[in-house]
Amino acid sequence: MASSSAEMHETVAERLGSVGQRFTPKRREIVEILERAGRPLTIAAILEAGHSLAQSSVYRNLVVLEEAGAVHRVVTRDGVSRYEMTEDLMGHHHHLVCTRCGSVEDVPAGEGLENSMADAVAQIDRSTGFTTDHHRLDLVGLCRRCTRPC
């Protein structure tokens, strides 16, 4: 995991370079918005946060950033794509996915859970012959806003 924002930006620039792309000011702005968000953002939310961004350019730049391995696209049942920095850049975490409003929140991965997960994964790998590289964990249900009685 990159230890600072500057270091992360350097890594993003390198990854873009490796696919023949540059870290343009617009891409930098998108990365900064994603970095600040603390959750995966829809294109609409990115547009809301960015002053100089147009929808078509946000979409194109996200595709490039995803191809470069800097941005991860989160797809949930509502079919709306959300974007965040890849875990190796921003740190491992899990998602809370709301089935009613579609919101996706980041939750930090606790040590206890990660240890149990590592045990479970080792067992699954032994019994299936699969070699697990990493896991993703979504908790799917209702967010606090959606459980509140109206």
Site residues, Zn ion (CB under 5 A): 84, 98, 100-101, 103, 106, 109, 143, 146
**For Zn ion, which is the closer residue by CB, 57 or 142?**
142
**How far apart are CB 90 and Zn ion at their closest, in Å?**
7
- In sign, the C-alpha dihedral spanning 47, 39, 144, 141 is positive
Rounded CA-CA distance 74/96 in Å is 12
Q: Please, where are the H alpha helices in the chain?
A: 5-18, 25-37, 43-49, 55-67, 87-90, 111-128, 144-147
**How far apart are CB 117 and Zn ion at their closest, in Å?**
6
**How far apart are CB 107 and Zn ion at their closest, in Å?**
9
**For Zn ion, which is the closer residue by CB, 101 or 140?**
101
**For Zn ion, which is the closer residue by CB, 47 or 121?**
121
The set of residues, in sequence order, having a beta carbon less than 8 Å from that of 62 and lying 6+ positions away, is 30, 43, 46, 71, 73, 83
**How far apart are CB 98 and Zn ion at their closest, in Å?**
3
